[in-house]
Chain A
Amino acid sequence: MLAIKNLSLKRANKLLFSSLEMQAEARQIVVVLGPNGAGKSTLLLALFAMLEPASGEVLLENKDVQDYSRHDLSRLITWQGDLPPTEFGLTVEQRLLLANDGNDIKEALLYMDLEQLQHRVLGELSSGERQRVEIAATMVRDNPIWLMDEPTAHLDMRHQVDCLQLMKQEAKEGRLIFTVLHDLQQAAAVADVVVLLDGKGGVEVAEAEVMLTAARLEPVFGVTLKGHGRELMPVYNGEIE
Chain B
Amino acid sequence: MRNKWNEQLFIAMFIAAVGGVVIVALGLGEHWISPWNPSNNMESVILWDIRWPRILTAFAVGGLLALAGAWFQVLLGNPLAEPYVLGVAGSAAVGAVSGMMIFPDSVWVTSMGAFIGAWVGIAAVLSFSHLGPTRLLLAGVVLAALWGAVLMLLMAMLPERGLMLAYAWMMGDLSHSSLPIWLLLLVWLGALCCGLVLSQSLDKLLLGERHAEALGVDVSSLRKKLLLLASAVTAVAVTAAGTIGFIGLVVPHLMRLLFGSLHKVVLLASAFGGGLLLIIADTAARTVISPAELPVGVLTAVIGVPVFLWLLLRRR
Partners in one complex: yes
Give Cα A84 to B215, complex, Å: 13
Contact: A70 with B218, CB < 8 Å?
yes
Number of A residues with CB within 8 Å of any CB on chain B: 28
What is the distance, in angstroms, from B113's C-beta to the closest C-beta of chain A? Answer: 36
Choose the segment among A25-33, A93-101, A218-226 that binds chain B (4+ C-beta atoms closer than 8 Å).
A93-101
**CB of A186 closer than 8 Å to a CB of B:** no
Give Cα A81 to B213, complex, Å: 12
Contact: A98 with B203, CB < 8 Å?
yes
Cβ contact of B211, chosen from A45, A81, A88, cutoff 8 A: A81
**CB of A17 closer than 8 Å to a CB of B:** no
Contact: B206 with A74, CB < 8 Å?
no
**CB of B132 closer than 8 Å to a CB of A:** no
**CB of A178 closer than 8 Å to a CB of B:** no
**CB of A71 closer than 8 Å to a CB of B:** yes
Q: Is the interface of B mostly helix, strand, loop or mixed?
A: loop
**CB of B162 closer than 8 Å to a CB of A:** no
What sequence of 0s and 1s flags, for each residue 269-300 of chain B, a beta carbon within 8 Å of any chain A beta carbon?
Answer: 00000000000000000000000000000000
Contact: A88 with B261, CB < 8 Å?
yes
Contact: A98 with B260, CB < 8 Å?
no
Cβ contact of B79, chosen from A71, A88, A97, A119, cutoff 8 A: A88
Contact: B217 with A70, CB < 8 Å?
yes
**CB of A231 closer than 8 Å to a CB of B:** no
Give Cα A77 to B262, complex, Å: 25
Cβ contact of A78, chosen from B74, B207, B214, B260, cutoff 8 A: B214
Contact: B261 with A94, CB < 8 Å?
yes
What is the distance, in angstroms, from A70's C-beta to the closest C-beta of chain B? Answer: 5
Contact: B207 with A84, CB < 8 Å?
yes
Give Cα A50 to B209, complex, Å: 10
Contact: B214 with A98, CB < 8 Å?
no
**CB of A239 closer than 8 Å to a CB of B:** no
Contact: A85 with B210, CB < 8 Å?
no
Contact: B206 with A48, CB < 8 Å?
no
Q: Which single residue of chain B is at the shortest CB-CB distance from A77?
A: B214
Cβ contact of A84, chosen from B1, B211, B257, B262, cutoff 8 A: B211
**CB of A89 closer than 8 Å to a CB of B:** yes
**CB of B3 closer than 8 Å to a CB of A:** yes
**CB of B176 closer than 8 Å to a CB of A:** no
The contact sample of 7 A-B pairs, CB cut-off 8 A, is A69-B218, A70-B216, A74-B214, A74-B216, A81-B211, A87-B78, A88-B79
List residues of chain B with CB under 8 Å of any chain A CB: 1, 3, 73-74, 77-79, 200, 203-204, 206-208, 210-211, 213-218, 256-257, 260-262
Known: A85-B77, A94-B203, A95-B207. 18 other contacts (CB 8 A): A48-B214, A50-B213, A70-B216, A70-B217, A71-B216, A79-B211, A81-B210, A81-B211, A82-B208, A82-B210, A87-B79, A88-B256, A90-B203, A93-B3, A94-B260, A98-B200, A98-B206, A99-B215
